[in-house]
Structure 1
Amino acid sequence: MIIRLNDLTKIYNSQRILDHLNLSFTDEAPCCLMGPSGSGKTTLLRILLGLERPDGGSYSITGENGSDLTGSVRFAAVFQEDRLCEAFTPVENIQMVTGRALSGERIRGELSRLLPPECFDRPVWTMSGGMKRRTAICRAVLARSQALLMDEPFTGLDEYNRRLAIRYIREKAAGRLLILTTHQEEDVELIGGRLVRL
């Protein structure tokens, strides 16, 4: 699968956040977007998710056989905010996106890669910010999707848990298109992807 940006432009309050951007992303290797605040990283992900419209240009999504997949690709995302249901447990949050495709036992097994077991059945609102972040990562990775878009997924994680999360994402995202934003070049090296500076 390939996502191509063609002169993609986004303007906020007369300021060009994205200015005739031409890029392509494939499912062959992760892509890490870096740039200063306001450079359009989050805006680009929101456009690809269909949450915002570009002011100019376009993007297309093409399958391996050249078929047009624009508008039919299933995305999973990690936003800058965790966007979890705070009254639900981590297991329940993940079940919301997996449905019956994964058993509770399998979900607990996946969560154990990132969280201590005593967190699995606690309401999310009782958990630390780092634990919530890891739950959001696990939820996105386990959702049935063809592409993963992650906006600063390692925010709030200490060094140990950041490396744990990177290893988990790298393993579970294999074969899917992965675009993530980061402020740390080391993340690019650890995830094994291509670096694009905006």
Structure 2
Amino acid sequence: MTAVIELKQVNKAYGGKKAVDNVTLTIEKGSVVALLGPNGAGKTTTVSMILGLQQPTSGTVKLLGQDPRDMQVRQRIGAMLQEVSVVDGLKVGETIELFRSYYERPLPLERLLKIANLTQEKDKMAVSLSGGQQRRLGFALALAGDPDILFLDEPTVGMDVTSRQLFWETVRAMAVGGRTIVLTTHYLEEADSIADRIIVVNQGKVAADGTPSQIKAETTGRIISFTAGAALTTEILQAIPGVTGVEWNGGRVKLTSLDTDRLIAELIRRQLPMRDIEIQSGGLEEAFRMLVETKGAVS
């Protein structure tokens, strides 16, 4: 895999406080990466350094193998930031045309309007758009230069359900086409469904890095649920090695464990009365909460 973003021992300090603390990570071409963290965790500062908007106090940041401030690099990236500032007096189509003029090989205007679902708003004044429409305009502006790498900062805030669904379908198609996408979002269900890799930042450090399934399984453990026979009791189940929790719901029981493979083998070996067995991970929201509450995050 080709690395398109590389951070090596990156630190960013404001006065005596470190916003980013010795972060090293690599992001490969064609991946969809969700950068998650609580407010003030350092994720926005990290993205700003990757974009070349801020410089690290120490360490190195490479974007497409070069300095993020290089003009040729800027031609190949797009960014949809939280705040979209539109130019007074310009229509939607004119605003997109202005941004297209900044790039050597821009996408056609009509395609950008279609991608952002703004074809009907082409001749409207940009300042008159609703909040959700302005977010979609920001998406069109980020795509104006047909970027290889796309940064999305809280992209669906203000969008309705239909617009969100269309937006993520478009992003998925772009990822399949080989674009690298880095996003931040507070909607964890979106990160869970769209990202093939999640990086959790806490207190300026990388607290977790892996696929959504890995993050959930390693943090919250996994759950084995089944319909229990009459002979099974909480005491019997708690005594089985590897069981970290037992929860009943009528005749159905949930067992939590950090190693469900070993536990299911043990349950079968003991020939316990059970049927309709299911194995699943905990939710990303629970995993995220546990990670950001952990004091000893490591980079």
Same-fold call, TM > 0.5? yes
Cα deviation for residue 13 of structure 1 reads 3.8
* Aligned match of 1:40: 42
Could you tell which deviates more after superposition, 18-27 or 72-81?
A: 72-81
Give the TM-score taking structure 1 as reference length: 0.85
* Contiguous gaps of at least 5 residues in structure 1: 63-67
Is contact 1:30–1:192 with CA below 8 Å preserved after alignment? yes
The separation in 1 between residues aligned to 2:30 and 2:111, in whole angstroms, is 27
CA contact (8 A) 1:34 1:41 kept: yes
Aligned residue in 2 for 1:130: 132
1:194 corresponds to 2:197: yes
Return the letter of the residue paired with 1:94: I
Q: Which of 63, 66, 70 matches 1:69?
A: 66
Q: Which residue of 2 aligns with 1:31?
A: 33
| Contact residue 86 and residue 127 of structure 2 kept, 8 A | no
Distance 1:177 1:129 in 2: 26
CA RMSD of aligned residues (A): 2.2
Any idea what SS the aligned residue of 1:112 has? Answer: helix
Q: Partners of 1:132 and 1:7 in 2: how far apart?
A: 37
In structure 2, distance between residues paired with 1:180 and 1:171: 15
The CA distance in 2 between the partners of 1:171 and 1:13, in whole Å, is 43
Contact 1:10 1:18 in 2 (8 A): yes
TM-aligned CA deviation for residue 98 of structure 1 = 2.1
Q: Offset of 1:101 from its aligned partner?
A: 5.0
Q: Distance in 1 between matches of 2:118 and 2:73?
A: 33
Aligned residue number for residue 218 of structure 2: none
| Matches of 1:42 and 1:84, distance apart in 2 | 22
Q: CA deviation at 1:37?
A: 0.5
Aligned-partner Cα distance in 1 for 2:116–2:63: 32
Equivalent positions of 1:112-131 (< 5 A) are 112-115=114-117, 117-131=119-133
Contact kept, 8 Å, 2:34 with 2:195, in 1: the verdict is no
Give runs of ≥4 in structure 1 deviating > 6 Å.
none
Give 1 or 2 for the bigger CA radius of gyration. Answer: 2
Q: Tell me the number of residue pairs that the alignment of Structure 1 and Structure 2 aligns.
A: 191
- Which of 180, 183, 192 aligns to 1:180? It is 183
Which of 118, 136, 160 does residue 158 from structure 1 map onto?
A: 160
User: What is the percentage of aligned positions where both structures have the same residue?
Assistant: 28
Say which SS state the counterpart of residue 36 (structure 1) adopts: coil
Distance in 1 (CA, whole Å) between partners of 2:156 and 2:54 is 24
1:94 to 96, 99, 102: 96
Superimposed CA distance per residue, residues 29-71 of structure 1 (whole angstroms, 9 cap, x where no aligned partner): 1111010011111111111111111112112245xxxxx4333
Instruction: Give the one of 46, 51, 54 matched to 1:52.
Output: 54
Match of 1:15 among 11, 17, 26: 17
Q: Could you tell me how far 1:19 is from its partner in structure 2?
A: 0.4
Q: Given residue 90 of structure 2, which amino acid in structure 1 is its aligned partner?
A: F
One-letter amino acid of the counterpart of residue 73, structure 1:
V
TM-score if structure 2 supplies the norm length?
0.58
Counterparts of 2:93 and 2:105 in 1: how far apart (Å)?
A: 13
- The residue aligned with 2:144 is 142
Q: Which runs of 5+ in 2 are unaligned?
A: 202-299
Is 151-160 or 68-77 further displaced after alignment? Answer: 68-77
User: For residues 160 and 106 of structure 2, what CA distance do their matches in structure 1 show?
Assistant: 29
